[in-house]
Structure 1
Amino acid sequence: MPSRTIPQIKLQSEDEQILEVSPKIYKCLNTINSMLDDPFRTAKIEEAIPVPNVSTSSLEKVLEWAEYHIDDEPLEENDGCIPVISEWERQFLQVEKNVLIELVLASEYLGIQRLLDITNTAVVDFIKNEPPRNVEDSTTMDDDFVVEQQENEFWCIALNFESDSGAESDYED
């Protein structure tokens, strides 16, 4: 009986770049694996699988991590312990803060628990080692967005208060 070879798959990043991935590597991408296990999806394996929430650079970095860990045993459920980070992983995680955040998001989206654990640990380490002002600057959203959200919340509260108080509203339905 001839052996069936598992083909490489193509992943399409959010910026529409196509990356070819070997079966050994995509086995650790739980989200992709789930898609491939879907009997309706398997028929279309030659098509690129969109990964809409992950940029090309983040996807390449994730695949680099997966390739390094290709022969690792699958991990048990996360028991809440802080993961032990290898020297290779320490070097791997020495990236700009925004790249680290993108790796957290990519590992969450792709369902790679071990990578998510170590990137989250790296973010915590970053926060612990930064002055409070730098942490605040790195976590604030766009000011225009925040102001718009605050205005929307104000009007929602005001309209709700008005309807709760039994006062007549000047607004027509």
Structure 2
Amino acid sequence: MFTKARGRNSLLGDGSFLFADVLPGEVAEADSAVTFRFRLHPRGPHDVVESRPFSVKQRYGAGLAWDLRDIDEDVRAAARRLEVAWYASDDEPPTNSNGRGPGEGYNGTVYLDNIRTGDDPTTYNRRRWLRNRRRLQRENGFRTDVTVDELTDTIQRGQFVYADGTELDYEGRITDDGGLEVTIDGDTFVFGGDE
């Protein structure tokens, strides 16, 4: 399923991040989560640029965030169409170089709202943090304990322990510019400071 948004001048403006709120209703004949991808279609000789996949459980809302800073500025400026593709996570459709495929489609309802760009890295990291926390809770249950292996004025390292017994390494660090950098199981989130 593809949803298109067209812009008047520069589709993305000067925003460094793209945000969207999504709510996959029930997708017929699919028990899996629903995967979303942003696809940016630029004018001219540029290839379609695609975000990483975002998996959202059916009947659960989520805020998605795509960091656009890694996309070449010429490609961003040439954006003529933004596409939000979605499909059942256990049935990814094949796609061609235009990000389209011969898929049969799905019966169901997906709500998209508040699609916008912004420059606030705190909003971006907050959305990533919440998605990560919810994913870990779905996979492992609630966090039940914290083991601290190292604690200084600027660093805390240890493991988060979850209800199913899973232990994940974490590190919290005060950055030189006064921000907070948190890494959980290899995913890093930065809050405050210069970001």
Structure 2 length normalisation: TM-score?
0.24
TM-score by length of 1: 0.25
Rg bigger for which structure? 1
**Structure with higher RCO (Cα < 8 A, 6+ apart):** 2
Question: Could you say which structure has the higher strand fraction?
Answer: 2
